[in-house]
Structure 1
Amino acid sequence: MRTNTLILYALFSFLGAATPITAWASERIQTEQIGVSIVADDGSVFARYDLADRSQRGKLRAYLEAERGRNYGIRVHNYTGGRIGLVIAVDGRNIISGRKSHLSTKEPMYVLGPYEQATYDGWRTSNTNVHRFIFTDAANSYADAWGDRSAMGVIAVTAFREVPRVQPQRRSGGQEMAPSASAPGESRSEKSMQSADAAEATGTGFGESHNSPSVRVHFKPQRHAFAKQFLKYEWRETLVRLGVIRESPPINRFWPEQLGQAQNYAPYPPGYWNQRR
């Protein structure tokens, strides 16, 4: 059974975020100071495959196996002793404002307290509701509805430390948020042409409405992010084709594979059977 938790979020450089939930997945994507995992409603964790390149400190990239038609949430764990601001983008769109994200400090962000964790599971449409994240085809995604395929199939989490406060702020009992600066308007008429492989591409849809109380808080982020994580989610068949997942061919119990293979004997020379006719 799902538990509604009050979320804190910042809509501009001075506001922030979401409060934590108590249970968290043992399998997670983790850098030194934050952990990220993608979870289903039953608490299970979607399979992910880390990439080996860790040349950039604090940045992690991984593949994620998406399951068509399933809701998901983005679970973040703060391993630091201070509050952090989280700019989260799905398919290139900020999950609070719905606008194109550049993962900057001027965007709405969720705020997470020291050693806390929280799960963000939808597009925020008010201070009390979100519409669920759901794996779907790119053509049915929220981003594609706005003509934006610039970051399709990618979940991005960027974490900012808080500028030290002169006086500690008393915490409220729920999730908080803040107003953001206005951004250039976007028109549905700007929708781009769909690519030929749109049916195969993954995206995140605008799912059912879900109660998710939130409150605004004061939060001023530092200029530069200290951690970034990018998850590229794909259908299983795509991950197999890319070699991310390796599958063995099925075994036929009544027809051993070696029967159709050479038994290490000398093969007949080319044209041999033609000469015998």
Structure 2
Amino acid sequence: MRTNTLILYALFSFLGAATPITAWASERIQTEQIGVSIVADDGSVFARYDLADRSQRGKLRAYLEAERGRNYGIRVHNYTGGRIGLVIAVDGRNIISGRKSHLSTKEPMYVLGPYEQATYDGWRTSNTNVHRFIFTDAANSYADAWGDRSAMGVIAVTAFREVPRVQPQRRSGGQEMAPSASAPGESRSEKSMQSADAAEAAGTGFGESHNSPSVRVHFKPQRHAFAKQFLKYEWRETLVRLGVIRESPPINRFWPEQLGQAQNYAPYPPGYWNQRR
């Protein structure tokens, strides 16, 4: 029987992610076992709009307002009393390996200790560096560079519990990751069809290099995920068009809309005043 042992990376963020950092936008929902929020470099949280449907236990979906040209990080809080493995995908790509993600235990993942928080803010290119996540047009995204638009505009976080260990490991500070089983090769020729409005869609680019040391640790995940969260990020104008954000029309200070509108009375028929001339 094959044992699927993953090596997880512990990332040290000199911006404050070395040990526990902060949590996700659902910090207000303490009933969830993980919290996820999307944060800017100044610590502010990008606006999020949760969907009401919770028919699938452990799975949450929400819209997120993306802001063009801004860097962001994915902040995760582990509300459980054990270590968890996190497979994180942006635009359908695993943020550690850069490969197409299926959110499975065979992929590299980050490890988060009990009741800890950490922020993951870029595509990992080495043990010591990541390239920052930045909101941009889909045509300029990292995923599109590989011809992959199969999950454009979606940030996915999948959490796995750890199979109980016989002996606890010594902890090393930072963010922890796990290596994957061999994954099938991928060709850039797998270019997907671009939709007519692809240039208008939001995506995540391959931003500036950022120092983020990591270490590998052993972690054996359970077979099935216990929590999944999906954030569909869009530009504000798109969210308004979809009805996620409701905007009131601008008000004319000198011409109130109700002016001249008879309230609760029969209106004059069309052309009435023309006939009276």
Structure 1 length as normaliser, TM-score?
Answer: 0.88
In structure 2, distance between residues paired with 1:32 and 1:74: 17
CA displacement 1:156-192 (0-9 Å, x = unmatched): 0000000000001111133333332222222222222
CA contact (8 A) 1:29 1:37 kept: no
In structure 2, distance between residues paired with 1:211 and 1:6: 24
SS at match of 1:30: coil
CA displacement 1:128-168 (0-9 Å, x = unmatched): 00000001111111111111111110000000000000001
CA contact (8 A) 1:58 1:228 kept: yes
In structure 1, distance between residues paired with 2:13 and 2:128: 21
Range that drifts further, 154-163 or 178-187 = 178-187
**In structure 2, do the counterparts of structure 1 residues 7 and 262 end up closer, same or farther at CA, with 3 Å as the change threshold?**
farther
CA contact (8 A) 1:33 1:80 kept: yes
CA contact (8 A) 2:162 2:219 kept: yes
Identity over the aligned pairs, expressed in percent? 100
CA displacement 1:101-147 (0-9 Å, x = unmatched): 00000000000001100000000000000000001111111111111
Give the deviation of 1:269 after TM superposition: 3.7
**In structure 2, do the counterparts of structure 1 residues 135 and 242 end up closer, same or farther at CA, with 3 Å as the change threshold?**
same
**In structure 2, do the counterparts of structure 1 residues 119 and 191 end up closer, same or farther at CA, with 3 Å as the change threshold?**
same
CA contact (8 A) 2:25 2:36 kept: no
SS at match of 2:237: helix
Give the deviation of 1:41 after TM superposition: 0.2
**In structure 2, do the counterparts of structure 1 residues 103 and 198 end up closer, same or farther at CA, with 3 Å as the change threshold?**
same
Q: CA RMSD for the aligned pairs?
A: 6.5
CA contact (8 A) 1:90 1:154 kept: yes
**In structure 2, do the counterparts of structure 1 residues 236 and 217 end up closer, same or farther at CA, with 3 Å as the change threshold?**
same
CA displacement 1:182-239 (0-9 Å, x = unmatched): 2222222222232101122111000000000000000000000000000000111111
**In structure 2, do the counterparts of structure 1 residues 11 and 173 end up closer, same or farther at CA, with 3 Å as the change threshold?**
closer
Give the deviation of 1:252 after TM superposition: 1.1
CA contact (8 A) 1:128 1:211 kept: yes
In structure 1, distance between residues paired with 2:24 and 2:244: 26
**In structure 2, do the counterparts of structure 1 residues 130 and 6 end up closer, same or farther at CA, with 3 Å as the change threshold?**
farther
Range that drifts further, 156-165 or 6-15 = 6-15
CA contact (8 A) 2:109 2:177 kept: yes
Give the deviation of 1:254 after TM superposition: 1.4
CA contact (8 A) 2:12 2:18 kept: no
Range that drifts further, 3-12 or 145-154 = 3-12
**In structure 2, do the counterparts of structure 1 residues 151 and 28 end up closer, same or farther at CA, with 3 Å as the change threshold?**
farther
In structure 1, distance between residues paired with 2:13 and 2:207: 28
CA contact (8 A) 2:5 2:219 kept: no
Structure 2 length as normaliser, TM-score?
Answer: 0.88
CA contact (8 A) 2:89 2:95 kept: yes
In structure 2, distance between residues paired with 1:95 and 1:268: 64
Residue 153 of structure 2 corresponds to 153
Give the deviation of 1:257 after TM superposition: 1.4
In structure 2, distance between residues paired with 1:6 and 1:19: 21
In structure 2, distance between residues paired with 1:208 and 1:18: 20
CA contact (8 A) 2:92 2:100 kept: yes
In structure 1, distance between residues paired with 2:51 and 2:25: 20
CA contact (8 A) 1:15 1:218 kept: no
Range that drifts further, 155-164 or 179-188 = 179-188
Give the gaps of 5 or more residues in structure 2: none
In structure 1, distance between residues paired with 2:152 and 2:73: 17
Give the deviation of 1:40 after TM superposition: 0.2
CA contact (8 A) 1:6 1:214 kept: no
SS at match of 2:177: coil
CA contact (8 A) 1:13 1:221 kept: no
Give the deviation of 1:24 after TM superposition: 7.8
Give the gaps of 5 or more residues in structure 1: none
Range that drifts further, 175-184 or 256-265 = 256-265
Q: How does 1:1-150 map to 2 (within 5 A)?
A: 9=9, 19-21=19-21, 32-150=32-150
SS at match of 1:72: strand
Paired residues, number: 277
